Structure 1
Amino acid sequence: MERTCCPSYTIRLKASDFVPSKEQARVQKRMQRFLDDVKDEDSKDEMNHPNSSMNQATNASSSKLSTSSGKQSPPGTCENLCKDGEFLCYLADKIDSAINACFGAGEFPSVPQLPKAVVKKVSRQMKNKIMETDDLLYTSSISFQISAAIRKSWQMDEKPAKLGSSLQENQSEKSSDVSPKVIAEKLAESMEQDGGVPGFLTKACNGHLNFYSTVNTTSKLVPEDIHTQTSKGGCSKRSFSSINTDSLTRKRRKLEIRMKTSSFDPEEFALYRKYQIRVHNDEIVTENSYIRFLVDTPIIFVPPSSLDDTVPPCGLGSFHQQYLIDGKLVAVGVVDILPRCLSSKYLFWDPDVGFLSLGKYSALQEINWIKEMQVHCPDLQYYYLGYYIHTCSKMRYKAAYRPSELLCPLRYRWVPYDIARLFLDKSPYVVLSDIATTQDQVPLPQVSASPVDNSTVDCLDGSSDDVNEETGAQYEYPDAGVDDVHCREAKNVLLMGDSRYADIINNVVLDVNGSRVRFKELQQVFGPIKRRYIVELERKLHRYVKVVGKKLASRIIYSP
């Protein structure tokens, strides 16, 4: 690798540790705005912006709104009529009705004065912060106010505590019954029993009353039988019975993600051809080249099994992950799904929707897929992004998915990218494990920088001495003079690493000067070998087994 102009390193990310950057969050928001058919992308205050949420739907349909008399609405009427504030008042009145019903039925202890509900619109920033879906539109914290009012009423009614701990226990018992969480659940249940809010699902979440939109296409947002009146809280309720409410909501685009086993699909090939010609300027794109590149795979498909928690519901093997918007194929991600990781191989997308940054968006979706699959397969933890070339600007995006790691090809040790980057900025080729050694202050034996480490091969004929070539220092081993060193090595004794790998390491087949020999038989075949070379080789084999797995390590011939 040190001789190539563009050294490549395997790069991976532990999905559970992933922290999206601001740019990646913007990519997700851009896609969501596109699906919601929202035009304005730079709004900082969505609650006051004329093009946000319900207001956008209102503006899009203002020409269709009319009064009950059939006359055209005067300019500005629609805008004033459908302001978020009026719908918030409607929701607040629905909550107040549920509160009165619960108190009237004796669900909650009586209080001198009932608090009035206040409903707020949930901003996108808040949704991202609490990791909620875009279906969450409104929320109310009235349950906390009710709980506080009940506790305050108890404190006023209680006489000075003379009963000591018995009174405290009684209060603790009562408090659990009127916690915000319990109150919110009862209010949500009462509202749903009363018919709920058309177009919305009311849920209790940690003491909050949340309203989730259930509208995927045009539908009614408010009841038709609301008449103009003024509530006690001062909010006026307009009559919506005369309004064409079917036009209040924009038609949302539908994103669908399908996972299918690797096979030739004419629609996929047409998209691939379009992508290669328009994005990469390829002149000729044939079916055969496409099949060889992205369809044929050496990985055998493993079907899912309810008895095996190492196989996800889709199975193991090579897959094509299709992205469809309103039924139209816009992107295909080619991935390998293995017991411990999802490996992203290639992505091609429709140039007509290039503004959606589908490459970045698909990576975020694949990371989320791994997180979801960990419920079924705890060992499936990593997201592999293929090879990373630091000097290639087109590959820099891979390191943006943090915290990523690069694999040292010499010692098979993973090194945090943030540490490796400082050294890769100075030199395109770096022995990454040496960097990790410096950071961890854990000495490792020096390894030749060449792809094939000749020091191990040379030692087999006794031509090497126990001298560090860089420092000239003599290695000291307490038992270096003992004759039976090689005998102990020939037995299943692991000098370094986890004893769980001892049997596997001892049975790894080595390719030494054209001869095939198992590690445990190495000294029986070639005679006594210097101890430091055995230790060094054992270290490498230990990391090798951990990287490729026990099954592959027992089947692959290892070249020292």
Structure 2
Amino acid sequence: MAEAKKVRSEASTSGGAGGGGNGGRGVSVVMDCGRRKSTCGYCKSGARTSISHGLWAHSLTVDDYQALLDRGWRRSGSFLYKPDMEKTCCPSYTIRLKASDFVPSKEQTRVSKRMKRFLDGTLDVKTSDKSIDELNTSGGSCSIAHNSETSSGAGESSVVDCGVKDKTDEFMHFLSDQIDNMVQVCIRSGEISSDIQLPKASVKKVVPAKRKLQAEKSEALIFTCNIAFQIAATLRRLNKDVEHLKSSESCSGRNKNSSELSPKMIAEILTSNSKQLAESCCLSVRACNGHINFYSTMQQADFVEVGRGTISKSSPTVSASNDDRHLKKSCGAPQGQKRKFEIRLKRSSFDYEEYSLYRKYQLIVHNDTPDHVTESSYKRFLVDTPLVHIPPNDNGTVPSCGFGSFHQQYVVDGKLIAVGVVDILPKCLSSKYLFWDPDLAFLSLGKYSALEEIRWISENQVHCPSLQYYYLGYYIHSCNKMRYKAAYQPSELLCPLRYQWVPYDIVKPFLDKRKYVVLSDFATLQNGESLPLDNHMEKQQNDSIQEPSNDVFVDEDDMAEIDSEDSDNETDSEASGATTVGSEDADLSNLLIGLKEARLRYKDIRHAFDSSHREYMESQLQSYVRVVGTELSEQMVYSLG
């Protein structure tokens, strides 16, 4: 009896990372849910093609969760899941960024500047929504107006620049984003088939000299885009690459058909899906010899207002003098004080204002039905957490907020506009989910919040040197709308086999060709090029390429809530098929078992099971050790009830 108490005492203090002791950071207690199949929220295949291993965490230390992240795990509430990368339909690679190495792109810099102008009151936004009015948004907006005078002998309307060039640039960026959305719609519908990242659209302003030559009837050509030519060229290159791969016949045939699309055909396909865009912009959108052209449908005395990514039409009876007065008001300095902006970091807890914003976001952005967006589902998904909170200390090992689960609130003039759900761990800030006010979509709050989270890491690294990385969740290369994560450079992906971090730029060409790649098979040469290790590359080339699917974005950021009722547990024989490095059975002797209030090593209770029960138990434990690793299996408590 005394010996049993001694074993129980030793086991109780062995939870947590760091050589068998966790410095009073608590203990992790998990229940194995086994290997599961469910429908996929990304490819929408309809079948149970998403395969993962699940754990339910009663409690979880921040050290153990950090170690699980570095083995490809992630959490949804208290449920932990790890995709079976070889067998699941959409392999999900953990992606991270070292905050001190981050270099913002031009687009990310534009997002920061746009937010700054919004807060300063110099970004004019016009909308009928009351929530924007509450933020003291200026009613005027920079405008592009048709001059009431016609060009001599031409009878053509000219465009008057209001003097604020970046306002027009913002609108062209808006049109570019809308064309990118049209491309995604065509990919999902199968009209355009692509398994690689397509180029981004770039809308250009048509200069008056060319506009005169290209104008049709009474319409004026304002903007144009040549994305169809770029897509056609990309698809042709893809087809050439596929011919060198030993891909399936159906896959090769589909890419071949895609490569035969001409720029003219692609432009016509895209414009056929642009009815909503045309209506919202008061512009006519048409394909012309491979170009996507935007024509003004206004009369000469009309004017088009650029603001918040939309164009609105004014009264055609406005006089020239009134036009001048309106332009001066639109482009002048904004009235009123600057907006007050706050970022508040609070521990994870239910907040009704947050829930109301989350509900609005899910209903409008993700088209969820009201009965699926309940307080209970919100709590399970984004409030409940198994992480044991660690308060701050004075020795520089914990940041001022502590370690654990937090909600980062973005507040403008006292109004909540966005919430980032994050886990702050010993090595990283892990971004779990973001929801924001759909009325402020023009601010790109998803991108802005990521920049703020990276900045937070850099600032707090001074006080907590171990805090260095920004984890963006899962990256699915076959999901085009997840490509934004790789835009935060220089990023790394986690190898699903050896759990080594590999630069994204090195493995991207190989992910373009197949969904599942053993990333650590690729070494970096001194000149920056990458070469595969011969033996592993030969094996991967001989593997069959999975059929690509019509991937869609599921904002989890990233991952939709995992419903355990929508999953099927697999049998032991199925679960044992997972491929790992060193597939021989692990030594289970020191695996930590929780039985009621007792915590014992498996070697001390093994004799308590008869042979049949012992065989079943050990098959379950072997599967568990394979997915969490030997070290964690000896630190976390494997609960038997």
More strand per residue: 1 or 2?
2
TM superposition score normalised by structure 2: 0.40
Task: Select the structure of larger CA radius of gyration.
Answer: 1
Return the structure number with greater relative CO, CA threshold 8 A, min gap 6. 2
